[in-house]
Structure 1
């Protein structure tokens, strides 16, 4: 009897498991196809104006579970109708078969789609896309399968969006009258990798990777990022590696999570921040020691020359002035975009409203800008000096003084990268990198014309400039890949 009970229990567990798996593939009662959404929308649009005609349909992403478009069905749809010969149009939103949005307005005419020309539904083109191109559900940005219907060159074009076999964002267009493939494209990466510049010679390694960070110590160089990035994610295959020979060879470090920041202290001890944790003492043989673990994501982090540390998370700053042995907390008065900590333990923040605040005792005091209309693009603190870049130029002052000094830079800098006592500036649209002189009034030097690269980080080790770049993406035509 006990044997039969055991078998029965295993059978029940198995059926529950199978049922849970199947729920993701079977459409919920609240999900509908594109044509079902059109029928619901048409009925309401005709009540608004008997001459209402369809111009566009699109599915809308949500977090409601269900099949994520697996059967050509989604919970949410948006439809546009116009009255031909007028500038009247109406936007209709549908969620779980119910109209939740009805917004009439005026706009110029769009091309209309006669209802009787829509022969294929979203479920039909999805099956074609799977059969011809092996289309998979999308991830990260537009989750699952998504669908749009437009009039292009007088034809009803039904697009299905998802991922190809290499998890790259894909769009396949079909003629909704006959199912002919009109176009099939996916976003392919170009660029990306670790660029080194020495004596005027460029060398690109780790080609195609998203290198999101690089930092140089006294004897070691560390890079981190994603080996297989997609357009919407750089956390697919995270890695962190270091080199003892100026990048000639690399050793992977045993950090299990995606690294968001890393640095060396003066003793060449490596620190690394992951999504919610901060580690120290990382080597190729040891993942190190966790010195901070938070309930919420680390938004930004800073460290001073003498390794005071400040971490921003969920409207709080966690800061340490003893190498992370103990931590104090400060409440952020407004949402911060940047947080910095000085060698003396001063906390400075750049708010989302582009105000710079300095913590004095238990108060946050706003720092006056060089000019009344200045708004800082970015700011950094090195030792006890504050550096800011604004529309009027590049400025610096001592945190204990009020007099600003202008630093000469040939172009407007919009982003700053601090590495120890080194400061780099990225110009508008990321076209150039400047090495900012933080000591005296000598002119800052342009060290690299970026070109098509997307620069994410930069550092200098000896006579070599190291630049971390991530790929860009462009639409490229796909070849038909019959489903395996």
Structure 2
């Protein structure tokens, strides 16, 4: 059981790192594909920073416009211009979300960038049902877990790469959890895992040297 937990933790850590890298690459390659019809300006914005749950709420509107059966697969924050200050309050300017339509085996990527909700072309991709995130499991927010991470792990913001504090929400097939990523006291890239329902810490992973 302990070995299984370690494997899941390592895979989850790797998934977040890859998500950030792939998203930045994907965004740069697909920006030209965006048209005025694929960008929805968010109305009545009071701030250009959003918590994870706020980002989900904004993206969900576009996802449901795409397909009423769309389901959330993953949320992850993305580097922005605030550098090491980003995410200090649990809110960030940029987020990436992926929604899936299981019957049609399609996925939709939506990004939130300084208040703009950007919807990319639909991709043909099969998603396993057991990795879908149930909205009922989203009981805590990034604004809460950042305070836990700072208090319990003395977590510091990342510098130079994966700037500031990063957040994600995913389902590994057995459990839905939220993560916060930054630097530990030894300045090593560290990811901490929290139960997305209770907020309880379920583990942490330090990037090996």
TM-score by length of 2: 0.73
Structure 1 alignment gaps of length 5 or more: 1-27, 189-472, 474-484
Question: Residues of 2 paired with 1:143 and 1:40: CA distance?
Answer: 23
Q: Is the 8 A contact 1:76 1:95 kept in 2?
A: yes
**Segment of structure 1 superposing worse, 178-187 or 129-138:** 178-187
What stretches of structure 2 of length at least 5 have no aligned partner? 1-45
In the alignment, what sits opposite 2:100? 82
Q: Which residue of 1 aligns with 2:166?
A: 146
Is 2:87 the partner of 1:62? no
| Structure with greater proportional helix content | 2
Q: 2:189 aligns with which of 162, 169, 177?
A: 169
Measure the CA separation in 2 of the matches of 1:54 and 1:171.
22
* Matching of residue 180 in structure 1 with residue 200 in structure 2: yes
Q: After TM superposition, give the deviation of residue 66 of structure 1 in Å.
A: 8.9
Distance in 2 (alpha carbons) for counterparts of 1:134 and 1:153: 30
Alpha-carbon deviation of 1:64? 4.4
Cα distance in 1 for partners of 2:84, 2:185 equals 23
- 1:41 is aligned to 59
Whole-Å separation in 1 of the counterparts to 2:158 and 2:74 = 22
CA contact (8 A) 2:191 2:206 kept: yes
TM-superposition CA deviations, 1:407-427 (whole Å, max 9, x none): xxxxxxxxxxxxxxxxxxxxx
Q: Does the aligned pair in 1 maintain the 2:137–2:176 contact within 8 Å?
A: yes
Contact 1:45/1:52 (<8 A) preserved: yes
Aligned to 1:133: 153
Assess if the C-alpha contact under 8 Å between 2:155 and 2:185 holds in 1. yes
> Structure with the greater relative contact order (CA < 8 A, sep ≥ 6): 1 or 2?
2
Give, in whole Å, the separation in 2 of the partners of 1:172 and 1:64.
22
CA deviation after TM superposition for structure 1 residue 65, in Å: 5.8
Question: How many Å separate the matches in 2 of 1:91 and 1:159?
Answer: 20
For 1:98 and 1:181, the matched residues in 2 are separated by 32
Quick check: which has more Rg, 1 or 2?
1
- Summarize deviations over 1:148-184 as a string: whole Å, max 9, x none: 1110233211110000112111100111011122221
**Number of residue pairs aligned between Structure 1 and Structure 2:** 162
